[in-house]
Amino acid sequence: MTRRTVYLAVYDTYADWETGHTTAHLAQHGFTVRTVGPTTDPVTSMGGLTVRPDLALAELRPEDGALLILPGAGLWDAGDELAPFARAARTCLDAGVPVAAICGATAGLAREGLLDERAHTSAVSFYLAATGYGGGKHYVDADAVTDHGRAGRDGAGSGGAGSGGALVTAGPTEPVAFAREILALLGVFEGEKLDAWYRLFHDSDASAYEVLQG
């Protein structure tokens, strides 16, 4: 992975706690996190934080990024205002760029048809079923799921609908597992260190700290 820019979508009511572990540890390991809003006007998170996006969604260039992260938000279930972000996810995946979605953003991807043929998870299966999507048979009851796309299944290269970038999904109670999948996907940690990182931040296992420092 040579591209080191990670795009974090931000929009009114976005769930600021869901991506904190992810962005903090990516930033500490050489990635640049750039926020992407509907425009460059300030947005307000669910927790009342005001963020001025680094760039507008229309300026997003998938080929320049290593990952697009979509946090949950009340707006995902309140209409179509965030649908352009789901369409941007499709563009990224088709270009071979990974996408990571958590909480309500998974419903946005479901409505866009991006979960119909990929392994995925969310808060609960019936939450996604309510969108009317066609991917119920691919739902996995897990804390977080990474689907590596066609390239991960049969070795095919990227390019073409549904063939490219990996897709990470998680429910709203699993920000640490969400981060674990992303850190693995981008090569920040692997194997024993990845497991230790998860045990430290999810289970407060102090013994894992020594493994991370080794």
Q: Which residue has the tokens 């260190």?
A: 193
Q: 189 near 183, Cβ under 8 Å?
A: yes
| Catalytic residue of the set 36, 100, 103, 200 | 103
User: Phi and psi of 31, rounded to 5°?
Assistant: -95, 150
The continuous run of DSSP H or E covering 193 comes out as helix 191-203
162: nearest Cα among 172, 170, 154: 154
In which residue are the tokens 């903090």 written?
Answer: 24
Q: Is 92 a catalytic residue?
A: no
The three-point CA angle 69-12-51 to 5° equals 75
The residues annotated as belonging to the active site are: 103
